Amino acid sequence: MAANHLSDQTSPYLRQHKDNPVHWYAWGPEAFETARRQNKPILLSVGYAACHWCHVMAHESFENETIAALMNALFVNIKVDREERPDVDYIYQNALQLLGEQGGWPLTMFLTPDRDPFWGGTYFPSTPKYGRPGFPQVLSHIEKTYRDDPKRITNNVTAINQALQQIAKPNAGGHLSRQVLDDAAAVLVQSVDDRNGGTRGAPKFPQPGFFRFLWNAYKRTANTAYKGAVLLTLDNICQGGIYDHLGGGFARYSTDEYWLAPHFEKMLYDNAQLIELMVDVWKDTNSPLYQQRVSETVTWLLRDMKNGPAGSQQEPFGFAAAFDADSEGEEGKFCVWSETEIDKILGSDATDFKTVYDACAQGNWEGHNILNRSTHMDPLGDLQEMALRASREKLFAERQKRIQPMRDDKVLADWNGMIIVALAKAAVCFAQPAWMEAAKTAYHFVQTQMTKNGRLCHAWCAGTANHPATLDDYANMSRAALVLFELTTDSQFLNDAKNWVAILDAHYWDRLSGGYFISADDTTDTIVRPKTALDNAVPPGNGTMSEVLARLYHITGDRSYEDRANDLIAALTPEDPRASLNHPTLMCGFELLDQATQVVLISDGDDPALAALHRSAVQAADPNLIVTVLRSVEPLAETHPAFGRGQLNGSATAYVCKGQTCSLPVTTMDQLKNLLTPAG
């Protein structure tokens, strides 16, 4: 008997739909076999728990008995959490774009029983509006075409599948060089909004990978236009409405060009990337604003985003995926304020607060107020800032009494790898050992709770780890391991990275064309194994792996890692240099491989002088810095530029190497800082 099949799923997004009258299946053999047996097309709906328009379509259509009955009669209906199965989502997002449509969520695709796509869209209203047909009309038309015009369906399937196979094999043939990177930066900086930061127009996404590339370009070339673009963007993001000025953390994007009105969902990956970028920029600027935003965002993470078997505040824990945009069925309701509410809570302090945080009687967004400091970007006097902080604390305490947005409790290996890196870097930069402990706790959670039979799983939720790991899981956890190795000097992290890369090489590497597939060779429920280096909201796994392999090569001197990195870059660098503009993470990995600054520290035992040298090295502002600590008894590979070098007069000793050339040995923090500070 047909029924909704989602009640046994652990995904919060799928469980949101377990009581729908739609006879949903999860992605898997049962659904595929049902479609084949009944000779019905598949309706695939992909979304995620924090997605506002996913909720809208659910309320309008999937909770509607009449529309659900039509879906059940005509289709086998499959729900996918795109965060649980990013490989599935990637395939069908590409299929939609091949049909000439813009991708997004909710994704609505129509497939044959063999999972081949033949038509699709995103959000469809329940009745015709927004220039879109009503969903019932779409359903009837698609099913009729499937029954009455099989040749058209076959032609669509053939054309889309051929194109998907081509997408899975990127058109390589180009090469990267410092000149290519410099040319790309010169083009990309022209797309930056010179008033508000970010790229021009609306909506505005933070795009940390894009601005990380521009920051690296500034550090490489000393061109202050790149620095200015990054600082302008970060300043506006930090002071705009996209930032939660009461609770900390950044929303996913702004719907306008001023960073005022976000879609209010908070994603772990955005906050991880923004923390890391602000830390890297702070090393050069010492910006109090960035330090404050990092601290507030980490406070939010440690307060609201922990998740594990024993509860959110106890070990072991990883970090949850997201907070919803909606509460009580209304977007942003948890976050916005009326002037009356502010006046009542703050009393005599309300006037100054409203002036600084852009609150007024008519509101600045749909009759409500989104708190922001876009008109008061610069810090005020110490006493004024103290008063504003006290006001924020009062409003935060009152906001905590509201019904909170739903939290998506999934712990994702790739996103946790990203936040581990951010926390570890911030911990060292701002001398916050508790942040480092949180980073290591999350790392060990993924390593222990999310590993089965020696292989990572992609997701953990409700006590269960499931779904095969993707390239991005291994890439981001390997990067986290290497960052922790450099910052803590614990060699176990290095061993973990080597082991994870070995798994990638065995199960994900394309032996014919090079590069890593998103899914493993034993993940068999997708119609194609895609491969990409294009940056999106998160850095691509292949781009991240270019950095991982570069770090492994420089740390170990093992040329097999260098060869693999070069093969990966060659396999995924577009023939047309202009296309490289879409590959900033890959280009950053190439730069690290080609132009790394290596600091090798050598000492016997637990020498306090070694700790001081190490602290000086890891806080340097060079984005291409790699730090390796060796006990004097540990040999370097013969191919390493510091091979054969030792301590100076029995003291903890540092060497700074570029390419195959190393500096003379130094033994003091000042000497090392001088070597790591560019002339001029």
Structural domains present in the chain: 12-167 (3.40.30.10), 178-327+406-595 (1.50.10.10), 335-399 (no CATH), 597-676 (3.40.30)
> Residue 457: is its pLDDT beyond 80?
yes
Taking each helix axis from N to C terminus, what angle separates 150-167 and 86-98, rounded to the nearest 10 degrees?
A: 120
Strand 407-412 vs strand 455-461: parallel, antiparallel, or unpaired? antiparallel
> Residue 679: is its pLDDT beyond 70?
no
> Residue 1: is its pLDDT beyond 70?
no
Q: Do the beta carbons of residue 283 and residue 429 sit within 8 Å?
A: yes
**Which structure tokens are listed for 472?**
């991005």
**Which structure tokens are listed for 487?**
């910052």
Taking each helix axis from N to C terminus, what angle separates 433-449 and 413-429, rounded to the nearest 10 degrees?
A: 160
**Which structure tokens are listed for 567?**
């093969």
Task: Please list, in sequence order, all residues whose beta carbon lies within 8 angstroms of the beta carbon of residue 580, skipping any fewer than 6 positions away.
Answer: 174, 176, 180, 184, 573, 574, 586, 587
**CA terminus-to-terminus distance, the chain:** 76
Q: 3-state class of 451 per DSSP?
A: strand
Q: Do the beta carbons of residue 575 and residue 450 sit within 8 Å?
A: no
Distance CA 349, CA 342 (A): 9
**Which structure tokens are listed for 182?**
């410099």
**Which structure tokens are listed for 256?**
């306008």
Q: Do the beta carbons of residue 543 and residue 533 sit within 8 Å?
A: yes
In terms of residues, how long is the chain? 680
Distance CA 386, CA 555 (A): 46
Nearest CA to 548 among 565, 528, 530? 565
The pLDDT assigned to 633 comes to: 62
Strand 455-461 vs strand 451-452: parallel, antiparallel, or unpaired? antiparallel
pLDDT digits (tens, 9 = 90+) for 127-180: 998 788 899 999 999 999 999 999 999 999 999 999 998 887 777 888 999 999
Q: Which of 105-109, 577-581, 583-587 has the lowest mean pLDDT?
A: 577-581
Nearest CA to 284 among 429, 185, 182? 429
What DSSP element (H or E) covers 12? helix 12-16
User: Mean of the pLDDT values across residues 473-492?
Assistant: 97
pLDDT digits (tens, 9 = 90+) for 281-307: 999 999 999 999 999 999 999 999 999
DSSP letter assigned to residue 61: I
Nearest CA to 245 among 356, 167, 101? 356
Q: Is the pTM of this model over 0.75?
A: yes
Cα 31 to Cα 28, 61, 512, 528, distances in angstroms: 6, 21, 33, 18
Task: Please name the residue that has the structure tokens 């890593």.
Answer: 516
Q: Do the beta carbons of residue 576 and residue 177 sit within 8 Å?
A: no
Task: Please name the residue that has the structure tokens 């009580």.
Answer: 328
User: Mean of the pLDDT values across residues 432-451?
Assistant: 97
What DSSP element (H or E) covers 655? strand 653-658
Give the torsion sign (CA, 56, 536, 188, 678).
positive
In terms of Cβ atoms closer than 10 Å to its own Cβ (0-12, 13-18, 19+), residue 259 is: buried
Count other Cβ atoms within 10 Å, centred on residue 526. Answer: 17
Nearest CA to 658 among 679, 673, 676, 671? 676
Give the torsion sign (CA, 259, 260, 263, 266).
positive
pLDDT digits (tens, 9 = 90+) for 582-613: 999 999 999 999 999 999 999 987 788 999 99
Distance CA 13, CA 296 (A): 28
The pLDDT assigned to 168 comes to: 78
Q: 3-state class of 515 per DSSP?
A: coil
Distance CA 669, CA 357 (A): 43
pLDDT digits (tens, 9 = 90+) for 344-398: 999 999 999 999 999 999 999 999 999 999 999 999 999 999 999 999 999 999 9
Within 13 Å and on the Cβ side, how many CA atoms surround 134?
Answer: 10
Task: Please list, in sequence order, all residues whose beta carbon lies within 8 angstroms of the beta carbon of residue 670, skipping any fewer than 6 positions away.
Answer: none
Distance CA 374, CA 372 (A): 6
The pLDDT assigned to 416 comes to: 98
**Which structure tokens are listed for 101?**
């449509």
Count other Cβ atoms within 10 Å, centred on residue 195. Answer: 10
Confidence class of residue 314 from pLDDT cuts 50, 70 and 90?
Answer: confident
Q: 3-state class of 458 per DSSP?
A: strand
Burial code (b: 16+ CB inside 10 Å, e: under 16) for 482-506 equals bbbbbbbbeeebbebbbebbebbee
pLDDT digits (tens, 9 = 90+) for 495-549: 999 999 999 999 999 999 999 999 999 999 999 999 999 999 999 999 999 999 9
Count other Cβ atoms within 10 Å, centred on residue 608. Answer: 9
Q: Do the beta carbons of residue 27 and residue 88 sit within 8 Å?
A: yes
The pLDDT assigned to 678 comes to: 74
